[in-house]
């Protein structure tokens, strides 16, 4: 897998195994660029200087900023690992469950928001959903390096597992209780569906609560990553109050 962009690679050097680093040989070097190279060399990463076109071919984009890195494939976690990381921090589990998110840019943005708001981990589907790829890495702006992600075959089975571990499940869907009027504390998991289809019926029925974000405009749906950000903010606001 290849990732690209200065910030993404600078972040990855701290937490991801980078096998090779490719750099635009005609790029002017400032202090920030040189620091990335120096950090890579200290970690014994092989550094290659290539043409801009070669870098574009490697990552499939011209927006690489002169840096492309070949990294090991993303290592997924288990739902159990997410619960354990919360326990190790002496915190109540705060989890995201994504039902049918297929857009890698949405997934990357969700991961970024989740990391910012202190989510312990994210559960995604194995089938008919986006997996962790180059675009997700780029869009997450490095947040993916600090986030546990479990990729599961059966989302309902994982929800049942969370329930057995005393985690309350909140599904976000039209027609539910208004977000600001919903008590969001303790151990909880937020279930976010896709923009087009929302949460699947069986998953919705498996939720303890159904919650809605009130909207007053002509359009009655939000981008999944935007809805997630609003929901995460409300949880952290209530926990802080």
16-18-24 Cα angle (round to 5):
130
* In the chain, domain spans: 2-71, 79-240
Per-residue pLDDT reduced to its tens digit, 140-165: 878 898 999 999 999 999 999 999 99
Q: In terms of CATH, what superfamily is 2-71?
A: Ribosomal protein L30/S12 (3.30.1330.30)
Q: What's the rounded Cα separation, in Å, for the pair 241 and 235?
A: 10
Residues 6+ apart with CB under 8 A from 33: 6, 27, 66, 67
Residue 36 confidence (pLDDT) = 92
pLDDT in tens, 202-232: 999 999 999 998 877 666 667 899 999 999 9
Helix (DSSP H) and strand (DSSP E) numbers for the chain: 9, 10
Overall size of the chain counted in residues: 241
pLDDT exceeds cutoff 90 at 130: yes
Domain 79-240 carries which CATH code? 3.40.1280.10
Instruction: Identify any residues that bridge with 50 across adjacent strands, giving them in sequence order.
Output: 24
Average pLDDT over residues 161-188: 93
* 35-84 confidence digits (pLDDT tens): 999 999 998 999 999 999 999 998 888 889 999 999 888 889 999 999 99
């Amino acid at each position: 897998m290849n990732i690209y962009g200065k910030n993404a690679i600078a972040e990855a050097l701290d937490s991801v195994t980078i096998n090779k680093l490719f750099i635009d040989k005609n790029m002017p070097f400032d202090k920030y660029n040189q620091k990335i190279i120096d950090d890579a060399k200290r970690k014994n990463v092989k550094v290659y200087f290539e043409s801009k076109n070669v870098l574009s071919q490697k990552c499939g984009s011209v927006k690489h900023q002169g840096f492309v890195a070949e990294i090991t494939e993303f290592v997924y976690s288990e739902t159990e690992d997410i619960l354990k990381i919360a326990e190790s921090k002496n915190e109540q589990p705060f989890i995201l469950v994504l039902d049918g998110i297929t857009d890698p840019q949405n997934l990357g943005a969700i991961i970024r928001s989740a990391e910012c708001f202190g989510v312990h981990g994210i559960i995604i589907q194995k089938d008919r959903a986006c997996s962790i790829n180059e675009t997700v890495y780029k869009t997450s702006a490095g947040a993916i390096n600090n986030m546990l992600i479990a990729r599961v075959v059966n989302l309902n089975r994982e929800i049942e597992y969370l329930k057995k571990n005393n985690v309350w499940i909140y599904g976000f869907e039209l027609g539910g209780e208004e977000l600001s009027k919903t008590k969001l504390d303790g151990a909880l998991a937020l279930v976010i569906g896709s923009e087009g289809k929302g949460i699947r019926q069986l998953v919705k029925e498996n939720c303890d609560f159904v919650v809605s974000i009130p909207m007053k405009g002509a359009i009655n749906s939000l981008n999944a990553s935007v809805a997630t950000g609003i929901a995460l903010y409300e949880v952290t606001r209530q926990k802080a109050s």
